[in-house]
Chains A and B, each alone.
Chain A
Amino acid sequence: MTGELRVLGKEGDTKVIWDAAKEDEVTAARATFDTLKKKGYFGYKVEKDGGKGEIIHQFDPEAEKIIMALPMRGG
């Protein structure tokens, strides 16, 4: 199963894709997730059909899609 990490940023989103059966890809995706968490990003696991998201604090290799949201502030 293929999952994708969508990292939101200034240039729009960038994708990190992993195959749950391939350890190196899972490791790379997890490292990206952890690095972004340290920078204040929040991870939301979402289903591919636009359903409700769920906040996650650890990388889930079985997730279909994880959106990494930037830190927010009041306007």
Chain B
Amino acid sequence: MPTVLSSGATITTSSATTVWISWVSASTDISASGVWSVWNGSTAGTTTNSNSPHINYQPRQLTAAEREAQERRHAEQQTRLNKQREEEAAAKERALTLLRESIDAEQQAQFDRDKSFIVQGQSGKRYRVRHGWSGNVDELDGAGGVVARYCIHPQISVPVEDNMVIQKLMLEADEKRFLSIANKMVVRQPVPA
């Protein structure tokens, strides 16, 4: 067994593994810096002095002014985060209001029930717009089963409810463009009405 000497003194070992084993053992007289210097160096009978300045790094204590500046930075960051959260909540609230204004009474009841509503496209096909950002538009067959799923959303991030408003408007008034843009995933063959 190699000899591991006390902290600050020269350590001699034949391998990094041995140093590791010694480090995790019950030994209390070995310093992290001593172990590190051997672990980091050559593993073939390396002798390393553990007192090199670069391995005896101790974090500097902050001055009172530095601590104050740090706390101020943290407080400013927290204020910014809180403001951002408030703005996002307000945007979501406005988007939900617009969505409710943009759907009829039956669609509102559907939305209240399960966060989705049925839209009739220009072609007569029926779609279900579910609450979501992507892959949230289902094409339905005559029996109400899902035959395809569409993924289409704005090019920039907006509240999800605004995304649903646009999807509804496109299906009702601009269905061809909707279908030309959206990525489609076929689920199964349609069942006739």
Give residues in A with beta carbon < 8 Å to B.
6, 8-13, 42, 44, 46, 48-55, 67, 69-75
CB of B6 to closest CB in A, whole Å: 62
Q: By the criterion CB–CB under 8 Å, are B166 and A75 in contact? A: no
Q: Please list 22 pairs of residues, one from A and one from B, whose beta carbons are closer than 8 Å in the complex, sorted by A's number.
A: A6-B98, A11-B91, A12-B91, A12-B94, A12-B158, A12-B159, A13-B94, A13-B98, A13-B162, A44-B173, A46-B102, A50-B101, A51-B104, A53-B168, A69-B170, A70-B158, A70-B166, A72-B166, A73-B155, A74-B182, A75-B133, A75-B152
Q: By the criterion CB–CB under 8 Å, are B107 and A50 in contact? A: yes
Q: How would residues 104 to 122 of chain B score, 1 for a CB under 8 Å from any chain A CB and 0 otherwise?
A: 1101100000000000000
Q: From DSSP, what is the main secondary structure of chain B's interface residues?
A: helix
Q: From DSSP, what is the main secondary structure of chain A's interface residues?
A: strand
B152-186 interface with A by 8 A CB criterion: 152-159, 162, 165-166, 168-170, 172-174, 181-183
Q: By the criterion CB–CB under 8 Å, are A69 and B166 in contact? A: yes
B63-91 interface with A by 8 A CB criterion: 87, 90-91
Q: By the criterion CB–CB under 8 Å, are B169 and A67 in contact? A: yes
* Known contacts A6-B98, A72-B166, A49 near B104 by CB under 8 Å: yes
Give residues in B with beta carbon < 8 Å to A.
87, 90-95, 98, 100-105, 107-108, 133-135, 151-159, 162, 165-166, 168-170, 172-174, 181-183
Instruction: Select from chain B the residue with minimum beta-carbon distance to A9.
Output: B158
Q: In the complex, what residues of B have CB within 8 A of residue A48's CB?
A: 101
Instruction: Select from chain B the residue with minimum beta-carbon distance to A49.
Output: B104
B92, B107, B154: which has the most chain A beta carbons within 10 Å? B154
State in angstroms the CA–CA spacing of A9 and B91 once bound together: 9
Nearest first, the 10 A-B pairs at minimum CB distance are A12-B91, A75-B151, A75-B134, A12-B94, A74-B183, A70-B154, A69-B166, A53-B169, A44-B169, A50-B104
CB of B151 to closest CB in A, whole Å: 4
State in angstroms the CA–CA spacing of A67 and B161 once bound together: 14
CB of A9 to closest CB in B, whole Å: 6
State in angstroms the CA–CA spacing of A53 and B152 once bound together: 19
Q: In the complex, what residues of A have CB within 8 A of residue B87's CB?
A: 11
Q: By the criterion CB–CB under 8 Å, are A54 and B173 in contact? A: yes
